[in-house]
Structure formats: C-alpha cells, structure tokens
Structure 1
Amino acid sequence: MTQNTLLHYFKWAFIVTAFGLVLGAVLGWVNTGTIGGTATVFFICLVLAVLEISLSFDNAIVNANKLKDMTPVWQHRFLTWGIVIAVFGMRIVFPLAIVAIAAHIGPIDALVMAAARPDDYARIMTDAHLPIAAFGGTFLLMVGLTYFFNHEKDVHWIAFIEKRMARIATVKGIEIALVLILVLLFSSLLEGEESVAFVYASIYGLLTFLAVEVLGGLLDYSQETMSAAARGGLGAFIYLEVLDASFSFDGVIGAFALTNNLFIIAIGLGIGAMYVRSMTIMLVEKGTLAEYRYLEHGAFWAIVILSVIMYVQTLFHIPEVITGLAGAGLIGISLLASIRYNRLHPEGEGEQETEEALRRI
C-alpha cells in the first residue's frame, strides 16, 4: 500500500485530528489559562483518540462486512449521516441523555451540569455504568454468537470451536439460550437492585437486537419494490447505527477515567471515530475482508470477548487498555493466520482448513 493511497483514505481523519487537537488546546487554555493545563488537555484528547481506535478495530471490520453488501447509495449515507450520528449522537447526545434521565432533569440542564459541574456529571455517568454495560454487552454478544452459530458458515479459523458451533446452529435459539445463561450467571453474582438492573438491562439489549433484526428484514424486504438505488440498505443502516452505539458505550464510560469534561471527551472520541470511518472505507474499497479470510473471524471473536468483558466490568473494573489490546490482539492473530493461509494456498486452491499451520501462529 502506497503512501498516496493511505493519504486518500485517511485525509479527512488527519484533518479532523488537526482541528480537534487545536480545539482541545484552546479549550485547555480557556479552562486553565496555563501552558501546562493546555498541554494536559491536548494530551488527553490524543490519548482518548488512541483509546477509541484501539477499542474500535473490530467495529470497523464488522461495519465493512455489512457495508460490502449494501448499495453504493446506502454506503454513502452511512459513511456521511452515520458518522455524524456516531460522533455527535453517541459521544455527546447519548451521555447527556443518560444524565438527564438518571437525574430527572432536562437536556439543557444536563448540558449545563456537564459544563459547570463536571464532577456531578461524571458521577451520574459512572453510576449508570452497570445497566449500560449489561445492555451493550448483551447486544454485542448476540452479534458475535449469531455470526458463529450459522450452519451455512463453511470457513473456520479456530476450527475445533467454530465447526461445532456451526454444526449445532440448526438448534433454533441456541445463541439466545447461551446469552440468557450468562445473564443469569452474572446476575447471581450481583446483589439486590444491581442484580435486578443487570437482568432488565440485559433483556432490553436482547430485545433490541431481535427488534433490529426483524425491523431490518422488514425494511429491506419492503424496498425490493423500490428503485435499485434505494434497495437493500435501510435495515442494514439501522443495524450498524445500533451496533456503533453498543461499541461506543465502553469508550464513553472509560473516558471518564481520564477527564470529567464532556467536551474534551467528545473531541478525543470524535477524532478516533473518524479513523474508524476511514478504516471502514479502506476495508470495503480494497476488498481486504476477501483477501484475508480469517480477519472477519478475529473481529467477531473480539466482539465476543468485549461483550464478556463488559459483563465482568459490572463486578469490578477492567482497564480500557486491556479491552483494547484484547480486541486488537485477536484481530492481529487472525491477520497473521490469513497471511499464512495465503502463502500455503497462493492460487486459492484447497478449501480444507490448515489446522497445523494455524497452530504455529
């Protein structure tokens, strides 16, 4: 890949990075009036951007997996409208909505609290972590398990597990049963109101996944009578927006470990979200998922791991760096396995799994 090609895909991400870091420095100067304070805010914005990117490698791959089957019109809509919703909706509006609901105040009052009383704002967001983690974890776990529990899936990376999952996928609702078992297990480790909140939030996450699946199918089916330019995209668009929301939960909550300032968080995570968008476009246009056959598997395993981590975080804190490294590590290993497979099958011959080669990774 040439430097010009990278610049083509990441041009807007670089522009937003420069603008965001300058804006963060200005915000730091306004808030502190010192060079040290300005440098601190600048550094926090940079760290938040890296955090978002590390947590969202799998998000970009899953987005690309869905986008490659969408029409160019809906691809463009997701990569324009969708990124606006992702940056402003999930990084600004969503936290404000949580605080407004939890504190029983209006959205304007929540915005004033974020600006004038950031400690109170951060405390409310932290208190809301358990139901958010339960909801997001359940939704993401369904996304991951649905990918592997598919009897038509014939390419397997971790073959001794994935083959068995594909084989028993004919049992209807097997992934739902596994999710409910995990929900009951983790809720039993919590006490009182926390246990009840975990169960309710998990059920809402499960129902949201099922509702999005049904709604997406109905919308895409209804579009079969429409023009080719509008066909087969609205349901996938809604699915990807909810998926992005679930991925963003961890980053938004984890950001409060670095700062209580909503606007600094929005700048840092917004920069990271632009890189996720750029990676998504590159993966779709270059056909990377088809070229590296196990990369998609690594992303979905990362989703499963992330969802379980979100469950575990309802019991005790797990540093975000571990979450990010776990996902990036799985994707990296799957990439190495894909490269190894391509070397062993340069012309694509032989569909049998090279388990011995994979074990050497």
Structure 2
Amino acid sequence: MLLKTFGWSFAITAAGLAAAGVLWGWKGLALVAILSVLEISLSFDNAVINAGILRKMNAFWQKMFLTLGILIAVFGMRLVFPVVIVAITAKLGPIDAIDVAINDHDRYEQLVTGAHPAIAAFGGMFLLMIFLDFIFEDRDIKWLGWLERPFARLGRVESLSVIVSLVVLIIAATTVATAVPVHGGSGTVDKASTVLLAGVGGLVTYLVVGGISAFFEDRLEDEEEDEESAAGKTSGASAAVGLAGKAAFFMFLYLEVIDASFSFDGVIGAFAITNDIFVMALGLGIGAMYIRSLTVFLVRKGTLDDYVYLEHGAHYAIGALALILLATIKYEINDVITGVVGVVLIGLAFWSSVRRNRKEAEAGPGSGDRQEVASGV
C-alpha cells in the first residue's frame, strides 16, 4: 500500500536529487532537498483538506488528481505562475519575463517578491473563506465544542462568511497594506488598492468555483436519491462510487485552486533559500508530489473516517495560514512559524481523535453517537 501510493514520489525524488547533483553539484542537491522539506512541512494541512474532498470523487478523477493535477501543481504553480506574475507586474512580454527568470535572478526575485501583497491577499481571502464556511457550519462532530457551537449558531446568518471576509479584507487594506516596505530598498509604499482588488478576486474565485462544484454535487446527490427510491435500493449504495461528470470536474478545479492558494507562501518563502527558478521548481515540485501521494494515502486508508478531528485541525490551520498570509503583506514572518502552526494544530487534532477512539472502544459498540461532542478538546 505504502509503496504503491508513494512509489512515484520516491522515484521522482531520486531522479530529481540526482539531476540536481549533476546540474548544480552538492550545493544544488542540498537546496533541492531543503525546498522539498519546506514544501511538505508547509502543505501537510493541504493534504488533509484535499483528502476530504478527493474521497467524494470516483477513481477516474482521483487518478486525474495524481496525473494532470500534479502537472498543474509542479509546472503550473511552481514554474509558470511566478513567471506570469513577473510578466504582469513588470509589464513584460512572455519572452522577456522568461529571460529575466532565467538570466537575471536578482531582478526576478525582486519582481516576484514585489507582487507578494497581491498574491497574499488573493490566497489569504480564498483560504479564509474555506475556514469560515467550515467553522460556521453546524456539524454533528465537534472538536472544540466550546468554540464551534456558538460559531455554528452565528452561521445561521446568511452569507456571514462573506461579510466577515470582507471586513477582514478592509482591515488588512487599511492597516498592513498602507505602509508596505519596499523590497531591497528603503521606504514604504501604499498597496491598499492592490490588496483590495486581489482580495476581492480571491473571494470571487472561491464563490464561483466552490459554488459551481457544490451545485453539481447537490444535483447529483438528488438524482441518485431519486434513482434509489425508484429502484428500492438502500441509501448510500451510490455514495461509494464517488462523484463523476461535471460535479467531479468542478470539484477538481476547486482542488487545484486550493492547492494554488497553499503554494503561494511556499513559492515566496523559497526565495529565502534560492532565487534560481529551476532549483526552486524542482525542490517545490518534489514536495508537491509527496503532498499529492499523502492525499491519496489518506483517502485509501480511510484515515479521515478513523480520526474524525483531523479535518477540524486542518481547517484551523487554514484559518491561521490565511491570517498569516495577510500579515505578511507588511511583516516578515518566518516560514518555520507557518509550518509549525499547521503541524501543531493537526497533531492536536490527531491526538484528540485517538483519545475519542479509545473512549469509544472502552464504552463498547454503539457509543460513538453519545461521545461525539464530549470527546472533543
């Protein structure tokens, strides 16, 4: 199971490190290895979130996530996306932007880092919406019941997550975005309008992609329920098949946007290690491959069903990452802090899940429903 799921990741790691050693020597090999570890540590919560969505999809779309999805993640977000950012912010043509990325590493780093406020605002708002929609939903299983119960009651207010997100965006635009330090120089610059525009773009993207995928998912579930009723089948028989067609396609797009939002901090943080676009893409790409394999592993092992608070911990980590991204518009926050926050929250959620499972085992069969709230922390 382990080799089958992570086999490609192991093979790509070996090939990538060998290529780094041949092309850039021992220094390049070390940089690629460090970047891979950085990407894995920053995106572990991404794997948990992805697994929660991927388990709803059928086998075909799960394979698409590992094949086409990894191409988008590695070449699209880690190689092409930074060059596109350079082309847009510096108003360069595609050829000139590629030339800067390959031949002028210092300017390339300056241009990408200069676009960080817009990137952080877009990604921060998208991730914040994911967290708010989760925390405002009334769920049967609650981890931090003392916190989640009142938020679930507040969630009855229509569009509250959008309202809260816009308030957070306005606060960010009028505080951290008004005096952004100039990269590589002295003084500050006002990025309020840039942050507002990018933040609204992240919010709209979430509403469009998430809304369309939810629409098709709900419609598919309604059709399946009608078919089951007409055929006299037991409910849930088709749920194991997974989403397909338009529902799965838009869910796939939703997954890719989530991955993109998580990759923003990794791409920017990688400049603290190297400004060589190919070293960066190779290292981050290897890390992204492990996150994809881990996602599939969690789905196939049914880990989220066995450890029910993992999704809660991952969503809290997403909320923390969203706020950290917005704060980095003005303040420099070490990537180690971002990674540690995510690992600690997921670790606590895992520990709480283990305790819950032990209590259920001690209480005997049929005790899960009675302990679903009491077993939370």
Tell me the TM-score normalized by structure 2.
Answer: 0.87
1:159/1:353 contact within 8 Å kept: no
* Matching of residue 12 in structure 1 with residue 8 in structure 2: yes
Deviation, 1:356, is 7.2
Output the CA distance in 2 between the equivalents of 1:23 and 1:339: 41
2:133 is aligned to 146
1:9/1:278 contact within 8 Å kept: yes
Output the CA distance in 1 between the equivalents of 2:351 and 2:105: 44
* Matching of residue 202 in structure 1 with residue 199 in structure 2: yes
1:136/1:249 contact within 8 Å kept: yes
* Matching of residue 340 in structure 1 with residue 355 in structure 2: yes
Change (3 A) 1:70 1:358: closer
Deviation, 1:79, is 1.8
| Secondary structure in 1 matching 2:191 | helix
Output the CA distance in 1 between the equivalents of 2:55 and 2:281: 29
Change (3 A) 1:352 1:163: farther
1:215 is aligned to 212
1:33 is aligned to none
* Matching of residue 351 in structure 1 with residue 337 in structure 2: no
2:163 is aligned to 177
Tell me the TM-score normalized by structure 1.
Answer: 0.90
2:232 is aligned to none
Which consecutive unaligned segments of at least 5 residues does structure 2 have?
Answer: 179-188, 225-240
- 1:321-348 per-residue CA deviation (whole Å, 9 max, x = no partner) reads 1101110110011000000110011145
Bigger shift: 171-180 or 329-338? 171-180
Aligned to 1:96, which of 78, 83, 101? 83
1:253 is aligned to 268
Aligned to 1:85, which of 66, 72, 75? 72
* Matching of residue 23 in structure 1 with residue 19 in structure 2: yes
1:34 is aligned to none
1:142/1:179 contact within 8 Å kept: yes
| Secondary structure in 1 matching 2:132 | helix
Identity of paired residues, percent?
44
What one-letter code is carried by the residue in structure 1 that aligns with 2:111? I
Deviation, 1:73, is 1.6
| Secondary structure in 1 matching 2:369 | coil
2:305 is aligned to 290
1:13/1:274 contact within 8 Å kept: yes
Output the CA distance in 2 between the equivalents of 1:348 and 1:39: 57
1:66 is aligned to 53
Deviation, 1:194, is 1.0
2:142/2:372 contact within 8 Å kept: no
Structure-to-structure mapping, 1:119-158, within 5 angstroms: 119-151=106-138, 153-158=139-144
Output the CA distance in 2 between the equivalents of 1:215 and 1:231: 9
2:142/2:148 contact within 8 Å kept: yes
Output the CA distance in 1 between the equivalents of 2:37 and 2:276: 18
2:125/2:165 contact within 8 Å kept: yes
Deviation, 1:320, is 0.5
Deviation, 1:223, is 7.3
Structure-to-structure mapping, 1:227-306, within 5 angstroms: 230=245, 232-306=247-321
Output the CA distance in 1 between the equivalents of 2:149 and 2:158: 17
Bigger shift: 284-293 or 205-214? 205-214
Structure having the higher helix fraction is 1
1:138/1:202 contact within 8 Å kept: yes
2:142/2:373 contact within 8 Å kept: no
2:322 is aligned to 307
- 1:263-308 per-residue CA deviation (whole Å, 9 max, x = no partner) reads 0000000000110011011101110000001011000110000000
Deviation, 1:104, is 1.3
2:32 is aligned to 45
Output the CA distance in 2 between the equivalents of 1:259 and 1:27: 15
Bigger shift: 90-99 or 186-195? 186-195
Which consecutive unaligned segments of at least 5 residues does structure 1 have?
Answer: 29-37
Change (3 A) 1:160 1:8: same
1:136/1:205 contact within 8 Å kept: yes
Change (3 A) 1:230 1:354: closer
Deviation, 1:220, is 5.1
| Secondary structure in 2 matching 1:345 | helix
Output the CA distance in 2 between the equivalents of 1:334 and 1:182: 26
Change (3 A) 1:332 1:341: same
Equivalent residues, number: 345
What one-letter code is carried by the residue in structure 1 that aligns with 2:283? G
Deviation, 1:127, is 0.2
Bigger shift: 219-228 or 331-340? 219-228
Deviation, 1:215, is 2.9
1:186/1:311 contact within 8 Å kept: yes
Output the CA distance in 1 between the equivalents of 2:220 and 2:9: 33
1:220/1:235 contact within 8 Å kept: no
Output the CA distance in 1 between the equivalents of 2:283 and 2:203: 30
